Structure 1
Amino acid sequence: MTHQRSLSALTRRAAAFAVTAALLLATAGCSMPLFPDGSEASPKASASPSASAKAQSTKGSDAGDKSNDAGSATPQASEASAQDKAKAILATMSVEQKAGQLMMVPLFAGNGATDVQSLVQNDHVGSVLLLGNWKGGTNAVAQVSSTLQGYTSGVGLLICADQEGGQVQHLTGSGFDTMPSAVKQGQMSVDDLRTSAKTWGGQLKSAGVNVDLAPVAGTVQTASRSQNAPIGALDRDFGLDATGNGQHAAAFVNGMRDAGVMTSIKHFPGLGGVTGNTDFTDSGITDATTTLDGGQIEGFRQALQANPDMVMMSLATYSQIDPNEPAAFSSTILNDYLRGTLGYQGVVTSDSMSAAALGSIPAKELGVRFVSAGGDLICIGANDYVRPILTGLVQKAQSDPAFAQQVDQAALRVLTLKVNAGLAG
């Protein structure tokens, strides 16, 4: 089941509320929520990584301070040499190839790798997200991952999954542990969580998955956890205060890095202050409490100390920061604050561009608006959005030199990440 733009906003909103109320399993993020029995619900996508990014923020937690002993997920080169190699690759690319590197497309459980073969080989798509309930275990996923990588030439794929734990774990079966919810992970010490995350990361790596679109670094701000549909109601946060959440997020990032797997903290600047799930509704998704000088932002400051490979942007709107744009389209939040004030220079990914929160925006404009705000990797959770978004990027870059330069900058960040991860150069 996908979101169709032919549905009216009213129909889509009603359908979204029905699904959310019935299941209470809507996972915000570039991910697909699952029914309680594990069958697939509406396709949604989740986020993505930047291995060489260095966040220069305020004092770090103990977990964050340990990040420097591990470096990037799979360190291959210094930052300067990695970027030089990425620039050399970029110089050989057409506009279409550059745009393809900014795309993360879905591959649903039960479908073969051939479903995205043409996108990878002919449209130069550079990232694939495994969505749905993949029950076959590590060996089955590894076969798919290997086939996908075989479609590439020169620059490998980011193969991503949404493995947070609890109700958000899309890869299961032999070889994959059943991960506890983030709230239960929050009851661990940061050292124990790092050790567990290394184990879970090793399982992903054995399956050929090189990016985990996790962890959630936000903090619930609503009066009760159940009122916060995207995070609190699903136990997707660590269940602590902002500092504790950030320290545990850093430990998760470091553990995954220890296993050679990249991560994406999400959903910046936090989904803890909204009542609606952006995946399924365009109502209740304005946060009136979050500011840039405290609250749940502190969780992200702490998590950034671990130098996560990616940061995923929220699709909610933050009236105290930028009341006019969702965070993913806000240059104030993304470019000025995340990149400028916090100093994060790595890959920034979007939450799912096929989410109901963005249903009033033509699909062709979605990627353009994200890249214009300073974003890099466009996460897509529904197949029918892929072609319009890709076409929009290419046409805008061909007609607008300033936007073409932004595409170059975004592609350079993605390629630098891939060089550091041993996927290019």
Structure 2
Amino acid sequence: MTHQRSLSTLPRRAAAFAVTTMLLLATAGCSMPLFPSGNDSSAKSASSSSSPSSSKSAKNAGKDTDKSGTPSTDSQTTSAPSAQDKAKEILATMSVEQKAGQLMMVPLFAGNGATDVQNLVQNDHVGSVLLLGNWKGGTSAVAQVSSKLQGYTSGVGLLICADQEGGQVQHLTGSGFDTMPSAVKQGQMSVDDLRSSAKTWGSQLKSAGVNVDLAPVAGTVQTANRSQNAPIGALDRDFGLDAAGNGQHAAAFVNGMRDAGVMSSIKHFPGLGGVTGNTDFTDSGITDTTTTLDGGQIEGFRQALQANPDMVMMSLATYSQIDPNEPAAFSSAILNDYLRGTLGYQGVVTSDSMSAAALGSIPAKELGVRFVSAGGDLICIGANEYVQPILTGLVQKAQSDPAFAQQVDQAALRVLTLKVNAGLVS
């Protein structure tokens, strides 16, 4: 059960008004809270040098980026020559369908078996799976599912992801998983204590076979009071500090996960702290009129990027002071020019859930194409009925448009490089 309508019938915006308790338990997009709990987890190479962007600071990395957002040869070689060379070798053997599959993160809901996505992994070449819903069976139960999922692959393993932030967003619970405090409570820890705690939580995720934690939130609440900010402040998903403090705590969380061998994703760039609506459920109140590229909201992400996170998740809100015409995930000015160019981030960029109500006016077949065209890599999907249209859209566009096919290659290369560094390539 999802909060989205059937693709052939109702308009997507209707999903925002059909949310029920059962729906909340079944969906999370790539950022949705669950009630009473939620979860997100990931696994990563223990060494910070294993990150595709780890060899240079965010401040300087942009100097080696071309206009398309692709790292130059010198930048890539300096970052991880062996990993990228291996990724290029794999890419050269892939069909268009296989490359497109590597850009897909598909949902697997709690209570369903790994076989639900077996066909997508084995026949549609999907490269990432997102665990959604209330997984209550503990680490051993999740580990059994993760192992089965990885068994469907050959040569290139899966990114197995979850939203494990803490508080109301902790999807994996039960024996072996600590009950994580909310991010606001994590913000009351010192950065050293938070890093230590994140290492513990990451170790639990790794034992469950989850190798990507789609956390932490690095944005800063900017509304008059926290309750007015539905996606973040009302749910205590930020660290509750100023932008610099939020960014430093986000970096500590990322480093703690890395210490445990788990990958992570800071989110939702350039921040959801200035909107009133939750992009998962509504297309109203999701235009940010205050965030600027030289303002405080961005500072939290600048600080968090110093930890070289494996992924950055893009917001689905629109930022009128930066690009009033496109949601951030579809904005080349925000994603490619600023995040990759100015800030120099060269790692994997993922979307928030493409099945969100915020994108209700856009045909599903165009969603992945617009994201990759803006410079994105990994397409997060929170509803099953969106998977095939998005995948078909990618393949058809790549087959008919050489320039887009090159962008698919660039995105797949970044994903494959990440996987090589994470030990997911045999």
TM-score normalised according to structure 2 size:
0.89
- Mark the runs of 5 or more structure 1 residues left unpaired by the alignment: 60-76
Give 2:181's aligned residue: 180
Q: Partners of 2:151 and 2:85 in 1: how far apart?
A: 25
Q: Partners of 2:229 and 2:278 in 1: how far apart?
A: 8
Give 2:268's aligned residue: 267
- Mark the runs of 5 or more structure 2 residues left unpaired by the alignment: 45-49, 61-77
Give 1:15's aligned residue: 18
Task: Indicate conservation of the 8 Å contact 2:43/2:264, yes or no.
Answer: yes
How far the C-alpha of 1:25 sits from its partner, in A, is 9.9
Q: Partners of 1:291 and 1:25 in 2: how far apart?
A: 35
Give 2:364's aligned residue: 363
Cα 1:397–1:411, aligned 2, differ >3 Å: closer, same or farther? same
Matched letter for residue 12 of structure 1: A
Cα 1:106–1:251, aligned 2, differ >3 Å: closer, same or farther? same
Q: Partners of 1:7 and 1:139 in 2: how far apart?
A: 39
Give 2:117's aligned residue: 116
Question: Deviation per CA, 1:378-403, whole angstroms, max 9, x where unpaired?
Answer: 00000000000000000000000000
How far the C-alpha of 1:424 sits from its partner, in A, is 1.2
Give 2:415's aligned residue: 414
Matched letter for residue 30 of structure 2: C
How far the C-alpha of 1:81 sits from its partner, in A, is 1.1
Give 1:56's aligned residue: 57
Q: Partners of 1:10 and 1:413 in 2: how far apart?
A: 32
Q: How many residues align?
A: 400
Give 2:30's aligned residue: 30
How far the C-alpha of 1:47 sits from its partner, in A, is 11
Q: Partners of 1:257 and 1:247 in 2: how far apart?
A: 15
Q: Partners of 1:378 and 1:236 in 2: how far apart?
A: 22
Matched letter for residue 133 of structure 1: N
Matched letter for residue 106 of structure 2: V
Structure 1 segment 26-425 matched on structure 2, within 5 A: 30-36=30-36, 51-54=51-54, 56-58=57-59, 79-424=80-425
How far the C-alpha of 1:8 sits from its partner, in A, is 3.6
Task: Indicate conservation of the 8 Å contact 2:13/2:282, yes or no.
Answer: no
Cα 1:256–1:407, aligned 2, differ >3 Å: closer, same or farther? same
Task: Indicate conservation of the 8 Å contact 1:279/1:357, yes or no.
Answer: yes
Task: Indicate conservation of the 8 Å contact 1:45/1:379, yes or no.
Answer: no
Task: Indicate conservation of the 8 Å contact 1:230/1:278, yes or no.
Answer: yes
How far the C-alpha of 1:45 sits from its partner, in A, is 10
Identity across matched positions, percent = 88
Task: Give the superposed CA RMSD.
Answer: 2.5
Cα 1:46–1:277, aligned 2, differ >3 Å: closer, same or farther? farther
Task: Indicate conservation of the 8 Å contact 1:239/1:245, yes or no.
Answer: yes
Cα 1:394–1:86, aligned 2, differ >3 Å: closer, same or farther? same
Q: Partners of 2:58 and 2:423 in 1: how far apart?
A: 27
Task: Give the SS at the match of 1:296.
Answer: helix
Task: Give the SS at the match of 2:58.
Answer: coil
Matched letter for residue 328 of structure 1: A
Task: Indicate conservation of the 8 Å contact 1:163/1:214, yes or no.
Answer: yes
Matched letter for residue 53 of structure 2: A
Task: Indicate conservation of the 8 Å contact 1:28/1:230, yes or no.
Answer: no
Residue range with higher mean Cα deviation, 6-15 or 225-234: 6-15
Matched letter for residue 151 of structure 1: Y
Q: Partners of 1:349 and 1:225 in 2: how far apart?
A: 26
How far the C-alpha of 1:31 sits from its partner, in A, is 4.1
Q: Partners of 2:13 and 2:299 in 1: how far apart?
A: 36
Cα 1:153–1:28, aligned 2, differ >3 Å: closer, same or farther? closer
Matched letter for residue 388 of structure 1: P
Task: Indicate conservation of the 8 Å contact 1:222/1:273, yes or no.
Answer: yes
Q: Partners of 1:111 and 1:27 in 2: how far apart?
A: 13
Task: Indicate conservation of the 8 Å contact 2:101/2:127, yes or no.
Answer: yes
Cα 1:151–1:228, aligned 2, differ >3 Å: closer, same or farther? same
Q: Partners of 2:244 and 2:185 in 1: how far apart?
A: 17
How far the C-alpha of 1:58 sits from its partner, in A, is 4.7
Matched letter for residue 30 of structure 1: C
Question: Deviation per CA, 1:38-64, whole angstroms, max 9, x where unpaired?
Answer: 6x9xxx9999999322463359xxxxx
